[in-house]
A and B are shown apart, each in its own frame.
Chain A
């Protein structure tokens, strides 16, 4: 379950509370979510602080863990490093050309053939690892497209 899906489900539940006649129902619903998140936050913060750094780092590629840590401001890495983790999980090479925190725009560089993953795949991974990315610009690297000799090597051709 990703943070986005969890959030959407909570939104659905709050919308149902909104439809009730009781005006306090929505506030009570929000308070319930707040209190639970606060409770989990406290415990999670202690766990993160107590984990040896290598053990924590080993968990960071897991989208569920990364999403939870980012939501709770407990992720040890900065935005660029987390975007890097999201991109590294893609089936084709996509690089980060730059991130503008003011606009939330990440400029991405597609260096592969461009058919291995969709924009949705990229966005889903960014949502878990770096939700502060709210816009993407995908650029293609023309120079790299010229590297056409690689599949021609004998070892590759044998596959």
Chain B
């Protein structure tokens, strides 16, 4: 009397395929190499989308005009301008219904895009040109802003309206984080705590902008 082991690789595969897919590591869109969680992004200006990129492929796209300029490398700088203030009135004129928003310049369409986070992700609104000029038009951060790949991230808190120049992927990361915990009209306490932690990390990385504007 002996034990007969039975293997059923086909059945085992079907059972495995009934389970939800394990999270796949993100891959470089160009070479397919797996990338670490903290990887860089390119902005695909044709598709208006962020593309994950490994360090090696990212370097290729740093050459100006690479791939006909379709992919633009997202820089890593975080800048603050402590000397610049946005008044409550200027904020109100921007018509942002929540406490956080980001602005960037779409070079292809030559227009400013204003986005703010919400339960369904980022909502786009056309900023009023006059309101935008009044709030940020004369700021050094706006002057330093790279089109497509950097954004001005605005946040209204009890102490005023804060503005940072950040890589645009940071803005979409914030949108993704807030979307997961957003409750009600303004996001609720959980989203607020998430935003607080996110902005604390950004503030730590942000360097004051010098007049000559380091690139």
Q: Please report the C-alpha to C-alpha distance between residue A37 and residue B3 in the assembled complex, in whole angstroms.
A: 33
Is A34 close to B, CB under 8 A? yes
Question: Are A105 and B11 closer than 8 Å at their CB atoms?
Answer: no
B16-33 residues at the A interface, CB under 8 angstroms: 17-18, 20-21, 24, 27, 32
Contacting residue for A10 out of B3, B13, B20, B27, CB 8 A: B13
Q: A23-B27, A137-B3 are in contact. Are A10 and B10 (CB under 8 A)?
A: yes
Which A residues lie within 8 Å of B1 (CB)?
137-140
Given contacts A24-B27, A137-B1, are A34 and B17 in contact (CB under 8 A)? yes
Question: A56 contacts the other chain (Cβ, under 8 Å)?
Answer: no
Q: How far is the CB of B31 from chain A (nearest CB, A)?
A: 9
Closest to B14 in A: A7
C-alpha gap A66/B183 in the complex (Å):
45
Task: Categorize the interface residue count of chain B.
Answer: 20 to 34
* Contacts known (A27-B24, A137-B1, A138-B1); A126 close to B6, Cβ less than 8 A: yes
Q: Does A123 contact B (CB under 8 A)?
A: yes
Complex alpha-carbon distance, A72 and B11, angstroms: 12
Which of A27, A127, A134 is B5 in contact with, Cβ under 8 Å?
A: A134
Given A24-B27, A131-B11, check contact A34 B4 (CB 8 Å).
no
Chain A residues 10 to 64 lying within 8 A of chain B, measured CB to CB, are 10-11, 22-24, 27, 30-31, 33-34, 37, 41
Task: Let me know if B10 and A7 touch, CB within 8 A.
Answer: yes
Q: Are A136 and B10 in contact (CB under 8 A)?
A: no
Query: At the interface, yes or no: A4 with Cβ under 8 Å from chain B?
Result: yes
Give every chain A residue within 8 A of B10 (Cβ-Cβ). Answer: 3-11
Docked Cα-Cα span, A136 to B6, in Å, equals: 8
Which of A7, A31, A71 gathers the greatest number of chain B CB atoms within 10 Å?
A7
Nearest Cβ distance between residue A154 and chain B, in whole angstroms?
Answer: 36
| CB-CB nearest in chain B for A38 | B18
- Kindly state whether residue B159 has any CB partner on chain A within 8 Å: no
Q: Which residues of B contact A11 (CB under 8 A)?
A: 9-10, 13
A8 to B9, CA, bound (A): 7
Partner of A31, one of B18, B21, B27: B21
- For A34, give the chain B residue with the smallest CB separation: B17
Does residue B8 face the partner (Cβ distance < 8 Å to A)?
yes
Name A121-159 residues within 8 Å CB distance of B.
123, 126-127, 131, 133-140
25 contacts between A and B (CB under 8 A): A3-B11, A7-B9, A10-B13, A23-B32, A24-B27, A27-B21, A27-B24, A33-B17, A34-B21, A71-B14, A71-B18, A105-B3, A123-B4, A127-B6, A127-B11, A134-B5, A134-B6, A135-B3, A135-B5, A136-B3, A136-B4, A136-B6, A137-B3, A138-B4, A140-B1
| Further 6 A-B residue pairs, CB within 8 A, beyond A6-B14, A8-B13, A11-B9 | A41-B18, A126-B6, A127-B8, A131-B8, A134-B7, A137-B4
